[in-house]
Structure 1
Amino acid sequence: MNVAVIGNGGREHAIVKKLYHSKSVDKVIAIPGNAGMNDTAEVIYGVSEKDFEAIAGVCIEKQVDWVVVGPEAPLADGLADFLEDEYDLKVFGPRQSEARLESSKAFTKDIMKKYNIPTAKYETFTDYDKAKQYIEHEGAPIVIKKDGLAAGKGVVVAMNLEEALDGLSSMMDEGDDSEPVVIEEFLEGEEFSLMVLVNEEYTHSFEVIAQDHKRAFDGDQGPNTGGMGAYAPVTHISEEVRLSAVENIVQPMADALVEEGLSYFGVMYLGAIVTNDGVKVIEFNARFGDPEAQVLLSLLENDFAEVLESVWNKEPLTLSWKDGFVVGVMLASDGYPGEYDKGARVDIVQECKEKTYISGLSQTEDGDYITSGGRVLLVTGEGESVQSAREAAYENIKAVTFDDGSLFYRTDIAHRAL
């Protein structure tokens, strides 16, 4: 079969690699892809993930059997609806109504409230003054989230009132109605990421969980990002906790969506936290996490295309996982998640390329890599323990050279597991 992967980030690079090694896949087409995918896919650079007609044209021309949509934005804009309804293509990724699980935090919180799915107490506001009054009444710490998509950066975890009001001002216009914000109670505990394959009431949760690192700097300091690194498995969080999440959160949410008349098909990402009151929801996303996908798919042994078919047919599924651990460290452009420059040269030793997942690199006419995004590449390492995998990842970073000050990375990825 031929499979098209939509997107140009590290998550899509991981999906492309996984499909390239699938015995049931003849060809992988990456739309628009990136400079790291040339060895494993036909890369269609000229087609934007926003150009639905052009994507469909490529899929028809290349006789694509499956379309896997990686990023959240085209899902929220209705790419799955368009390809399915207009061209009868099989799409792994939820339709627009179902993608609201990520594109509208208020929508998702309301469903969790209605169906008693454990999550933080919250209120939704479109009026700045009312939101400000609520924050002043509740106090800090408190969490403020943009309702819509924000590439992992639309969240302020405010530890004092000043930070909370500054965060509110950054998301809402004082005195005017604005796009909704969701204000939540602060939950304390250990966070983890669980990926779930979903087809309506059918779910298969990954048996391996991952842990992301959202803050930009060591010690979980600085602003939230799209993710500065991840590792898996997370063995200090028990299997009992994972099963509790499946029983009390994952399956109830899948069933709730069906009850609401929705037909979810794709990956459901659960961002969860282990509190003194049990496992609760931090967030849901409508796609694989990034960088969690890179480490989890590195561990998954199954033919990924066959997995898609099983989920499509709602068949019993057994996932096989490699022994050991994978740690991934994100190299990001200086200034990210704020303003940053592009065009810095990056060199990767050939032997290390199999251990890297490109997010924000392009190539010059001479074939040199230059930065083109905030998060640039994830460098991974494998080992029999978290410690050895972590050491391998940081050793592999030495195979990546760049100008001083052009890139930065955290030096403490996986510290919670040590």
Structure 2
Amino acid sequence: MKTLHNVKNPQPKRSFLFVSKWGEILDIAYAIQEEGHSVKFFIEDKLSREIGFGFVKKVNDWQKHIDWADIIVFDYTGYGKICDDLRASGKLVIGGSQYTDLLELDRNFGQEQLKKHKIKTLPFKEFTNFQDAIKYVEQKPDTYVIKPCGEIQDLKQLLFVGNDDEGIDVIRVLKAYEKSWGNKFGNFQLQRKVRGVEISVAAFFNGKQFLKPVNITFEHKKLFPNELGVSTGEMGTSMFWVKESPIFNATLKKFETSLANNNFVGHIDINCIVNGNGIYPLEFTSRFGYPQIYIQRDGLNEPIGNLLYKIANGENFIINTKKGFQIGAYIVVPPFPFTDKKSFDLFSKDSVIIFKKESKEGIHPIHIKRINNEWLITGASGIALLITGTGITMKDAQRMMQNRISNVIVNNSYYRIDIGNRWMEDSDKLWAWGLM
């Protein structure tokens, strides 16, 4: 194991326990181990438990290692009550709270909280069955977005963004969902669609206040270039760090007292549509974003293990970040973005990732295991790698990312080649609207 070498400011070695829902946090756990810390890694989902094998020490019961850990990191929503209890017992924890779990998982609650904090919201209505939703669109024709609520919202391909001004496409999708899902779909929202620039603003919160700089992110959610195809959750992201942001001040900043009162310590993001008429928050991500956190790591000038420890410890400091831009693209394999174990086992499981050059800088293992020093695809999702690039300009970052992608061979893989291309047009609009 590597040791930390910093003569001016040596960092103590600490013990990190990662509690993961699907193994998403492997890249960060492995990076922290490479910084010289001790790491133990637990994955809740049984189909994902091979992820990280050969990279970090895996454990079968994370609760047996609570006393061992200096800091416990939870990588997803749903652990809020556990995080609250651990913090109350004196443990240092990065993760959600019961309050922030509700912000993300209960869309109704999230919208109510936005209103309570005097933040403009888009009109929406929640439904428990498809027939009521279809009648609603027929009576109030417009362009809508279908947003699943609760845990089913993790199936990102079910979110549907309508384009028809009369809502005809939304009605067709609702009828299709009714046939395929029936009562198993659960609650969902219809939200009025507005046109503009989709942008996210995110920040780390130390239990008392937000830390600067904040992170501005542009997500690319569709499977194919030019925002075509099925929604995947995300295929890639471009970002930069800023000391001040009008969008942050109009949204997340207003939650500072509520987050402190509800014992939140971690990372939170709010996704918005902005245009010349204003800022319209869409949804919260009250945890690490994926692939956001991997790309953020490439934009840091300090070890991420030290950063997370200081945040969990409640320290107030300026995060040391790089100037310019950071971007990343997922490399995925069949059947992504769909779940089909038979197809995954046939086409993708245990496929070897080949590196033309030995350097793995900017190459982030996602659903990967390591055997005999070979990287193999595992898990169930089909997300293999995240490849990043950084630069003073967006073009510089894109070139670095493409050069790194060319160093990797993944059989049957596909990825977006246009991550970051929207920046020129989006930035012009944001400047014109006074939001940069």
Q: Into which bin does the TM-score normalised by the smaller protein fall?
A: 0.7 to 0.9
Secondary structure of 1:252's aligned partner: helix
Q: Distance in 2 between matches of 1:91 and 1:327?
A: 28
> Shift of the alpha carbon at 1:223?
1.4
Secondary structure of 2:417's aligned partner: coil
> Shift of the alpha carbon at 1:137?
3.2
Q: How many residues align?
A: 393
Q: How is 1:5-16 mapped onto 2 (pairs within 5 angstroms)? A: 5-7=18-20, 12-16=25-29
> Shift of the alpha carbon at 1:330?
0.7
Q: How is 1:79-98 mapped onto 2 (pairs within 5 angstroms)? A: 79-81=82-84, 83-84=86-87, 88-98=90-100
For the structure 1 residues 101 and 152, does the alpha-carbon distance in structure 2 shift closer, same or farther, using more than 3 Å as the test? Answer: farther
Give, as a single letter, the amino acid of the residue that structure 2 aligns with 1:228: M
Q: Does residue 164 of the first structure (1) align with residue 170 of the second (2)?
A: yes
* 1:2 aligned to which of 15, 25, 48: 15
Q: Distance in 2 between matches of 1:370 and 1:187?
A: 39
Q: Does residue 139 of the first structure (1) align with residue 146 of the second (2)?
A: no
Unaligned runs of 5+ in 1: 48-53
Q: Distance in 1 between matches of 2:271 and 2:292?
A: 11
Would the aligned equivalents of 2:100 and 2:264 in 1 still touch at CA under 8 Å?
A: yes
For the structure 1 residues 94 and 123, does the alpha-carbon distance in structure 2 shift closer, same or farther, using more than 3 Å as the test? Answer: same
Give, as a single letter, the amino acid of the residue that structure 1 aligns with 2:20: G
Q: Deviations over 1:63-102 (max 9, x none)?
A: 1110111123x526x44246456x6532211123431111
For the structure 1 residues 10 and 177, does the alpha-carbon distance in structure 2 shift closer, same or farther, using more than 3 Å as the test? Answer: closer
Give, as a single letter, the amino acid of the residue that structure 1 aligns with 2:294: Q
Q: How is 1:266-285 mapped onto 2 (pairs within 5 angstroms)? A: 266-285=266-285
Give, as a single letter, the amino acid of the residue that structure 2 aligns with 1:217: F
Would the aligned equivalents of 1:273 and 1:280 in 2 still touch at CA under 8 Å?
A: yes
Q: Distance in 2 between matches of 1:347 and 1:415?
A: 27
> Shift of the alpha carbon at 1:344?
5.5
* 1:19 aligned to which of 32, 51, 74: 32
Give, as a single letter, the amino acid of the residue that structure 1 aligns with 2:406: K
Q: 2:413 — aligned with what?
A: 407
Q: 1:296 — aligned with what?
A: 296
Q: Distance in 1 between matches of 2:23 and 2:213?
A: 20
Secondary structure of 2:251's aligned partner: helix
Q: Distance in 2 between matches of 1:297 and 1:139?
A: 44
* 2:126 aligned to which of 102, 124, 127: 124
> Shift of the alpha carbon at 1:19?
2.9
Secondary structure of 1:271's aligned partner: strand
Q: Distance in 1 between matches of 2:391 and 2:358?
A: 17
Q: Does residue 64 of the first structure (1) align with residue 69 of the second (2)?
A: yes
For the structure 1 residues 304 and 176, does the alpha-carbon distance in structure 2 shift closer, same or farther, using more than 3 Å as the test? Answer: closer
> Shift of the alpha carbon at 1:370?
3.0
Give, as a single letter, the amino acid of the residue that structure 2 aligns with 1:192: I
Secondary structure of 1:395's aligned partner: helix
Q: 1:112 — aligned with what?
A: 114
Q: 1:50 — aligned with what?
A: none
For the structure 1 residues 171 and 102, does the alpha-carbon distance in structure 2 shift closer, same or farther, using more than 3 Å as the test? Answer: farther
Would the aligned equivalents of 2:23 and 2:51 in 1 still touch at CA under 8 Å?
A: no
For the structure 1 residues 408 and 71, does the alpha-carbon distance in structure 2 shift closer, same or farther, using more than 3 Å as the test? Answer: same
For the structure 1 residues 252 and 384, does the alpha-carbon distance in structure 2 shift closer, same or farther, using more than 3 Å as the test? Answer: closer
Q: 2:397 — aligned with what?
A: 389
Secondary structure of 1:202's aligned partner: coil
Would the aligned equivalents of 2:297 and 2:304 in 1 still touch at CA under 8 Å?
A: no
Normalised by the size of structure 2, how large is the TM-score? Answer: 0.79
For the structure 1 residues 90 and 156, does the alpha-carbon distance in structure 2 shift closer, same or farther, using more than 3 Å as the test? Answer: same
Q: How is 1:186-335 mapped onto 2 (pairs within 5 angstroms)? A: 186-199=193-206, 202-233=209-240, 243-256=245-258, 262-312=262-312, 314-335=314-335
For the structure 1 residues 198 and 343, does the alpha-carbon distance in structure 2 shift closer, same or farther, using more than 3 Å as the test? Answer: same
Q: Distance in 1 between matches of 2:407 and 2:371?
A: 20
Would the aligned equivalents of 2:127 and 2:187 in 1 still touch at CA under 8 Å?
A: yes
> Shift of the alpha carbon at 1:382?
2.9
Would the aligned equivalents of 1:362 and 1:371 in 2 still touch at CA under 8 Å?
A: yes
Q: Does residue 43 of the first structure (1) align with residue 57 of the second (2)?
A: yes
What is the percentage of aligned positions where both structures have the same residue?
A: 22
Would the aligned equivalents of 1:35 and 1:358 in 2 still touch at CA under 8 Å?
A: no
Q: Distance in 2 between matches of 1:329 and 1:172?
A: 34
Q: Distance in 1 between matches of 2:331 and 2:192?
A: 32
The CA RMSD over aligned residues, in Å, is 3.1
> Shift of the alpha carbon at 1:416?
0.7
